[in-house]
Amino acid sequence: MATVEVLATEVVVPAEETPAGAVWLSNLDLAARRGYTPTVYFYRPNGDPADFFTASAVRDTLSRALVPFYPLAGRLGLDGAGRVQIDCTGEGAVLVTARSDHYALDDLMNEFVPSDEMRDLFVPTAPAPAPNPPCVLPMAQVTRLRCGGVVLGLALHHSVVDARSAAHFVETWAGISRGFAGDAAAPPCFDHRLLNARPTRAVLYEHPEYKPEPAPGVHAATASRYASAIIKVSKQQVSALKDRCAGASTFRAVVALVWQCACRARALPPDAETRLYSMIDMRARLAPPLPKGYFGNAVIRTSTVATVGEVVSSPVGYAARRARAATSQGDDYARSLVDYLEGVDAMNLPRSGISRAHLRAISWMDMSLTDADFGWGVPAFMGPALMYYSGFVYVMNAPGKDGAIALALSLEQESMPEFKKVFADDLARLEV
């Protein structure tokens, strides 16, 4: 079994004195999954090995990045009423340095799929009482491989960051490492009251994504058992797919095909209900929009529903239109959701897996690989370190400049081989 040797674990505090006090969290922060989002960045060796991702350089630049992002140096806490908040204590972030004599980068990239094993190897695990208050918010691990390459593993607490905020932090940290000042990126905005509930709540939609699913019955997915895969879709295949989806975005078109193929691979009855879930960034959709540097959770869960027969038997453009229905909400929908969450226990919403008839698709296409250049080149790969349960798909930009995308996907173990076959067949037909 592959192993990673931990060389040192330390706590990195901000390079300067930072503000104290508490940062209030919005209902969208409270509704986020209570836990860490583990991601990995793979870097090829570049330049003098003595200078490449040294512990001292990583420590120094992380310390400086924690100055503008000072809440991340605090701890998850509770206010007097028991509501989760950030206590800005300046205690710092966890940094682990490690090495692996087993892996060279190319071998790792050929073997890597998001899984518990990969997360355990390359992403640090928080000490108790993680992920509950009082716990550390960011953790980083730098693992040097036998070829000289490096894996940077990050775990950021989802109660305080979504994907866009995580990318903002990494972009700033990498920019500092490349020699830019700490304010090179947009300054972070921690005013979460911009997403406060309205004085007079107005819940105008049902918001089923924040309610328990009906009894799962025979189509239940087992959260702890899944197979995962990384699948590349070329720029030409994406273009051909979009041509069949009436102007749909790349995300919607690709997810439409994944949805179709997952329904086929799962061999579900035609009359079974299948729901496509998604997470939508509302920063630019609110009126007025949130500040460019808004730092926190500004995403909402959405979904659309159809029968398996409708998804499988219709052209892929049908599924793309359904995907658009799940990803086109605006200010009124988001404000309705915030008001709805004000009236429920947002800290204890259902966060379990989904039925095996369903799919949860998330776009990470805004997470630029170029912005994760710490001065030694862009990552050879970036993606999630594990999938939480079966039925997850992340749509990401693939490394390189050829315009391809990458899918990180999880399905039931018995469904994955058939999915890979039908998905590859459908992609091949697009190029005919």
The CATH number linked to 325 is: 3.30.559.10
Q: How far apart are CA 79 and CA 11, in angstroms?
A: 25
Domain-located, residue 17: yes
Whether residue 369 sits in one domain with residue 300? yes
Strands 227-233 and 405-411: antiparallel
> In terms of pTM, does the model score above 0.85?
yes
Whether residue 216 sits in one domain with residue 162? no
Whether residue 213 sits in one domain with residue 162? no
CB 98 within 8 A of CB 143: yes
- Tell me the residue range of the domain where 360 lies: 208-430
Closest to 397 measured CA to CA, from 427, 364, 362, 370: 364
Angle of the 250-265 helix axis to the 235-243 helix axis, nearest 10: 90
Q: How far apart are CA 296 and CA 18, in angstroms?
A: 19
pLDDT at 165: 95
Integer CA distances (angstroms), 83 to 66, 78, 136, 342, 351, in order: 24, 5, 17, 12, 18
Whether residue 29 sits in one domain with residue 100? yes
Q: How far apart are CA 273 and CA 62, in angstroms?
A: 47
Domain-located, residue 191: yes
List CB contacts of 424: < 8 A, sequence separation 6 or more: none
Domain final residue, candidates 137, 164, 195? 195
Neighbours of 82 (CB within 10 A): 8
Whether residue 249 sits in one domain with residue 165? no
Residues recorded for the chain: 432
Q: Based on the structure, what is the number of domains in the chain?
A: 2
Whether residue 222 sits in one domain with residue 153? no
Q: How far apart are CA 11 and CA 97, in angstroms?
A: 12
Q: Average pLDDT across each block of 10 residues of the chain; the chain has 432 residues. List them in order.
A: 88 97 96 93 91 95 97 96 96 97 94 94 85 93 96 97 95 93 75 96 92 55 74 94 91 96 95 94 95 95 94 94 87 95 85 84 86 94 93 91 91 96 92 66
Domain final residue, candidates 195, 225, 260? 195
Whether residue 111 sits in one domain with residue 44? yes
Whether residue 252 sits in one domain with residue 184? no
pLDDT at 400: 80
Question: In which residue are the tokens 């583990």 written?
Answer: 38
pLDDT at 351: 65
| Token pair belonging to 299 | 């995403």
Domain-located, residue 356: yes
Whether residue 322 sits in one domain with residue 223? yes
Domain final residue, candidates 173, 195, 217? 195
CA angle 360, 345, 278 (to 5 degrees): 15
CB 53 within 8 A of CB 376: yes
Domain-located, residue 182: yes
CB 225 within 8 A of CB 116: no
- Sheet strands side by side (includes 150-157): 5-12, 93-100, 138-145, 150-157, 36-43, 381-384
Whether residue 171 sits in one domain with residue 278? no
pLDDT at 183: 53
Beta bridge partners of 359: 276
Closest to 390 measured CA to CA, from 142, 269, 271, 219: 219
Domain-located, residue 1: no
CB 331 within 8 A of CB 63: no
Active-site residues: which are they? 158, 373
Whether residue 31 sits in one domain with residue 81? yes
Whether residue 362 sits in one domain with residue 255? yes
- Sheet strands side by side (includes 84-87): 22-24, 84-87, 75-78
Q: How far apart are CA 60 and CA 57, in angstroms?
A: 5
pLDDT at 218: 42
Neighbours of 162 (CB within 10 A): 23
Domain-located, residue 202: no
Domain-located, residue 200: no
| Token pair belonging to 223 | 């959260």
CB 431 within 8 A of CB 237: yes
Closest to 39 measured CA to CA, from 138, 119, 142, 120: 119
Domain-located, residue 203: no
> Residue 202, Cα to own-chain centre: how many angstroms?
30
